[in-house]
A and B are shown apart, each in its own frame.
Chain A
Amino acid sequence: MARYQVYLLMSFRGRDVGRNYFAQLFSVAILQITLRILRRWNQTGQKHAGDSDIAKTFLPAHNFLLWALVIITYLDVGQRMSRSAIPWASRLVSSAAAAALGIAAIGFKIAFTKSDAPELLTGVEMLLVGPIESASLVSQARAVFLSSLALLVLTIGPAIAEKIHSAEPMQTILLPFHDILSLFLITQTRTTNIPAFMIFQVQYHSLDYLDLPTVELSLTSLLLQYASFFSLGGSNAISSIDLSNAYNGVTGYNVGAVGILTFLSNWAGPVWWSSATVLLLTAKRNQRIHSKSSDKSFMTPDDAIWGSFEQYVAWLTFFASSSVLAVMLACTMLRAHLFIWTVFSPKYLYIMAWNMGQHLCINLGFGSLLVWMSSW
């Protein structure tokens, strides 16, 4: 009886050799639980508008918890940066750089919250130290952006200069890029939305452990991109476009910069996920290269890269084109509908932003750039 039970247990091993069955089951459970938390992060839509949610009701009532979560998120991003950024230097140097950037970012967020939503700082005024309060918001924002750029250049520069070619395709540049991008996106996010990025990171690790095939990963990425957009407060109404972070570091009238910052601020979740998906895709490719190095039918590393990324892009484009066609048809056929200007044409504008901005520029353009960088 006992041997049969052991056989039963062993037969439930996951498809991937070496991965524990229960650990993978746990990962999917984590995905479901975190998704449930994210559903309540921001209440969007018309039917339950104004209902209590985490970002607008719970966290502002518990300022200490809010800022503890925010600082933990920054610390998490900072420690990941200190481990992966500037890979050619010692960890001391990179930790110092990451710490400096993290402190600048937190300082800017605190100062920004003081001017944008001061009620979030009642009870935690100890965070408002002198230098943070006295420096101007514009210079702080620019400091954060320029330091991120400097860290990025320091991380990527030597790879370009030396043209590092090794038997292992590197994921080492994508990881710090993702962490610095996380910090940038967190800087562009409302304070009450920042802990959601920690939840995204947990979801990313669960997906990493699950090791899904490319096609399933593509669908998962699509679903999570849209889900994260809505859970961070986006909706299909023009009124939900958040302009509070659109002028970070911008002093005068600058359409391009403000437009880009507005897009990145509202699409922070999807942009984060497109970067995380490229990380997951290249991790799969690295794993495949490691395990099949003696296989004669194995493709060259470059083929392996574009194989899975091309599949991912094909699936995303399929959904993008079908959604555009559907919205265009709906707007044309319902052009005499009562809600044509209040509901359907804002949806059309959002579809344009989703497809020209998120799909073309971020998923295709930025994703291709990341995949190309991973092959250095």
Chain B
Amino acid sequence: MSSTASNYNLTRLYAGIALSATAFAFSLMVAFAFVPKVGSTGVWTSLVAMSYGTMMFASSFVEEEQHFWYWAASAWFAWITVKKYELKWLDIKFTC
């Protein structure tokens, strides 16, 4: 009885991981090679993807995932505000 809950088919688990890793590799190539101008948005998307991936290993973060999305959306809108306009009087230039 104690072994049924942990009677994992490890071969299938590893096969699934291998398949999804292949898919991830392909999508990485397409997203960063095919899209003409990536710039800071590419950095942002990578950050979101990486922190989401790291989050999945912590049960508390999985339970409270909504906070991640709310915070990321707010931060992204703040970045859009800053990026869209060249703040000349502060001599700071944000370019795409």
What's the minimum C-beta distance from B27 to chain A, rounded to whole angstroms?
Answer: 4
Given contacts A14-B85, A47-B64, A337-B59, contact A323 B53 (CB under 8 A): yes
> Looking at chain B's contact residues, is the secondary structure mostly helix, strand, loop, or mixed?
helix
Contact yes or no, B14 A332, CB < 8 A: yes
Instruction: Report the interface size for chain A: residues with CB under 8 A from the other chain.
Output: 66
A-B contact pairs, 6 of them (CB 8 A): A24-B84, A28-B81, A47-B60, A215-B42, A325-B21, A325-B23
Residues of A within 8 A of B (CB): 8, 11-12, 14-15, 21, 24-25, 28, 31-32, 35-36, 39, 44-47, 210, 212-213, 215-216, 218-220, 222-224, 226-227, 230-231, 235-237, 310-311, 314-315, 317-337, 339, 341, 343-344, 347
Contact yes or no, B45 A315, CB < 8 A: yes
What's the minimum C-beta distance from A360 to chain B, rounded to whole angstroms?
Answer: 12
For B92, what are the chain A residues with a Cβ–Cβ distance below 8 Å?
Answer: none
What's the minimum C-beta distance from B94 to chain A, rounded to whole angstroms?
Answer: 11
Contact yes or no, B24 A325, CB < 8 A: yes
* Number of residue pairs A-B, CB distance < 8 angstroms: 172
For B76, what are the chain A residues with a Cβ–Cβ distance below 8 Å?
Answer: 219-220, 223
Say which size band chain B's interface belongs to. Answer: 35 or more
* Cα–Cα distance between A349 and B16 once the two chains are bound (Å): 14
Contact yes or no, B49 A32, CB < 8 A: no
Contact yes or no, A341 B38, CB < 8 A: no
What's the minimum C-beta distance from A167 to chain B, rounded to whole angstroms?
Answer: 26
For A220, what are the chain B residues with a Cβ–Cβ distance below 8 Å?
Answer: 76, 80
Contact yes or no, A323 B41, CB < 8 A: no
Contact yes or no, A318 B74, CB < 8 A: no
* Cα–Cα distance between A324 and B27 once the two chains are bound (Å): 12
